[in-house]
Amino acid sequence: RRTMAAMAAFLLLSTPLLTAASTAAATCAQAAEPRQAAAQLYATGQDADADECLTFALANLTAQLEALAAEAETVHAYREARRRGATLRDDASGCVVGADGASLCLHAAHASPSPADTASSPTTAASVAAAIAAPRSLSECETQADALSLLQRLESGACDGCDEAVQLEASLLLAAQRHWWDAARGFVDLLRASNLTVTSETRSALTALRDGSDSVLSLLRQTRLDEATIRCAVLWAQGERAVHLSVKFASRLDAPVTVLNVDNEKVEINETHVLFSGIGRQKPKTYIVEIELFEPIDPALSSWAFGSVGTVRFTLVKAERREWERLSKSNDALPFKHRVWWEKQEQIVEDEKKLKREEAAAAREKAALEQIAAQQERERVAAVKAKEEEEERRARRHSQLPLLYAATAAAEALVAAAEQGEEATATAIEAG
């Protein structure tokens, strides 16, 4: 379509505008083939008339090219309108109605209108294309080209109604999920220009996309030539309570780090064995370590985690607190490289010394607290006993009060009787 339009423009620009038609030009217009008529005029030496005849032929061809370009534009606009769900007219004509109410009919594209008809047509391809609403969000885009066009309109501010419809962070994730990487980079630039940050959820989703594609590529790279099993080298250290392992994704401890992490890892920790295997992400080889331990461990309390780049670490809690003579149960040569993890061993020794000091201090503090608690308990018991004795004395006094009152009353009665007897005696003496 663009090629035909360019050809038409070239022909129009390269053809001088005719102000009056000569007799030769009129003859060419009546001829079935103007180019053949021009050739005959050139043969007879009528070069000027032949030039005018060719000018007429060029103008005719230009009009035909313009008509074809308009027809192609109409077909393209009709197809895009149908893709975007434009409304069909209900007259069974197959025409669609644009956003501005203008109609576009497919059957009109089959006709070959003259240049005059094309110029006077009220519904041109350009007007119909303008009537069709451009995508205002990434979810409405069907191709990455649509997404890039949306980005250009967003950057230039020529996208009416797009500010609310376009969520930059969601559009970034959707573009990545559709593998429209140019569009995704464009949305990153827009986010930065708007001083917006990406949430951790979006970063995690993008990381998952990357890891998923990396794992697929890693599996695709696996062939019989590069498949292999590497027995990992091991550093180990121990304390009274636990054994610590650092497993390197390499066959030697002094080998350079070429595998940073692994996929499809499998871990098994039981009372007597430790097993780890995984497929290298940078090198599709299987990295494995399997150890039959010197003495039993507690699997429920043991743990593992990826360490620094190219390693995985284990903490194996011993079933009994005591030093191991070696790492493995067998005294034979092991099928993997291993040695004492001296840096960790020194740290463990210092940590256990510190822990013992803390435990001793805690024990002393506990004993002191127990003594204080015992003294407080003795004081409490003594106080309770004293209180009980006091209450018992009060109860006895309370129970003896009636007797005391009775004795007091009897004594008072005796005193009164004695006084009466003395008075009677005195009276008798006086009477005698």
pLDDT tens column, 348-379 = 999 989 988 998 999 999 999 999 999 999 99
The last residue of one of the domains, among 203, 221, 239, is 221
The answer to whether residue 58 is domain-embedded is yes
Q: Is 326 helix (H, G, I), strand (E, B) or coil?
A: coil
User: Quick check: 50 pLDDT over 60?
Assistant: yes
In the chain, what is the straight-line distance between the N-terminal and C-terminal CA atoms, in Å? 174
Binned at pLDDT 50, 70 and 90, residue 51 comes out as: confident
372 domain-assigned: no
Higher-confidence position of 257 and 33: 257
Give yes or no: residues 253 and 322 share one domain: yes
**406 falls within a domain:** no
175 and 295 fall within a common domain? no
Can you give the CATH number for the domain in which 322 is found? 2.60.40.790
Residue 84: is its pLDDT beyond 70?
A: no
H/E stretch holding 236 reads strand 233-238
Q: How many structural domains are present in the chain? A: 3
Out of 207-211, 227-231, 349-353, pick the least confident: 227-231
Q: Is the per-residue pLDDT at 88 higher than 80?
A: no
pLDDT tens digits, one per residue of 404-419:
888 888 888 888 888 8
Task: Say which residue, 82 or 151, is predicted with more confidence.
Answer: 151
On whether both 214 and 102 belong to a single domain, the answer is: no
233/113 same-domain check: no
235 and 213 fall within a common domain: no
Instruction: Give residue 320's pLDDT.
Output: 94
Residues 78 and 144 in one domain: no
Average pLDDT for residues 387-397, to the nearest whole number?
88
pLDDT confidence of 266, banded at 50, 70, 90? very high
List b or e across 398-423, with b for residues whose CB sees 16 or more CB atoms inside 10 angstroms.
Answer: eeeeeeeeeeeeeeeeeeeeeeeeee
Residue 94 belongs to a domain? yes
Residue 288 has pLDDT above 70, yes or no: yes
| Span of 22-26, 188-192, 232-236 with lowest mean pLDDT | 22-26
What is the Cα–Cα distance from 275 to 76, expressed in whole angstroms? 63
> 194 and 170, same structural domain?
yes
What pLDDT does residue 229 have?
Answer: 87
**Mean pLDDT to the nearest integer, 384-393:** 90
Identify the domain containing residue 305 by its residue range.
Answer: 229-351
Most confident of 41-55, 160-174, 202-216: 202-216
- Among residues 299, 303, 300, 328, the alpha carbon closest in space to that of 315 is found at 303
Rg (CA), the chain: 53
Same domain, 70 and 182: no
Boundary (domain end) residue, out of 155, 188, 221 = 221
pLDDT of residue 125: 44
Q: Are residues 107 and 142 in the same domain?
A: no
Q: Which two tokens stand for residue 178?
A: 């559709």
d(CA 65, CA 63): 5
- Tell me, yes or no, whether 391 lies in a domain: no
Closest among 350, 317, 352, 321 to 245, alpha carbons compared: 317
Mean pLDDT score across all residues of the chain? 79
Domain membership of residue 66 (yes or no) is yes
Residue 396 located in a structural domain = no
pLDDT at 13 over 50: no
User: Quick one: pLDDT at residue 121?
Assistant: 43
Residue 100: inside a domain, yes or no?
yes
Q: Are 212 and 162 contained in the same domain?
A: yes
In whole angstroms, what is the distance from residue 339 CA to residue 225 CA?
31
% residues pLDDT > 70 (the chain)? 75
Residue after which a domain boundary falls, among 351, 367, 402: 351
Helix (H) or strand (E) segment spanning residue 120: helix 115-120
pLDDT tens column, 128-173: 444 345 777 888 888 988 888 888 888 877 666 665 555 888 888 8
Element (DSSP H or E) covering residue 410: helix 342-431
Residue whose pair of structure tokens reads 């990455």 in the numeric block: 144
Of 207, 225, 224, give the one whose Cα is nearest residue 215.
Answer: 207
Q: What number is the average pLDDT over the span 4-33?
A: 51
Task: Pick 265 or 127 by higher pLDDT.
Answer: 265
Same-domain status, 120 and 21: yes
Q: Does residue 170 sit in the same domain as residue 250?
A: no
Alpha-carbon distance of 133 to 139, in angstroms, equals 14
